[in-house]
Amino acid sequence: MKPVEIIIIVAAAAVVIGVIVAAIIRKKKGISSCDCGCDCAHCKGCGIKKPEEEKK
């Protein structure tokens, strides 16, 4: 296996793992990734987890 092919495997794995880890971190922080680009007026409300009192 050529060095460049090893780099491809590592890079591909890094992309996949990176995307999954980033999604988990976002979820824990309570941030969603919607199509608004996170610049719209609703970002604070994009929480996957919402505080109970706000929900009420």
Check binding of 2 to other proteins (CB under 8 A).
Answer: yes
Do 32 and 46 touch, CB atoms closer than 8 A? yes
9-48: which residues touch other proteins (CB under 8 A)? 12, 15-16, 18-20, 22-23, 27, 32-48
Which token pair is 1?
A: 């296996």
Check binding of 52 to other proteins (CB under 8 A).
Answer: no
Block residue for tokens 């979820």: 27
Q: How far apart are CA 11 and CA 31, in angstroms?
A: 26
Residues of this chain that bind other proteins (CB under 8 A): 1-2, 4-5, 8, 12, 15-16, 18-20, 22-23, 27, 32-50, 54-55
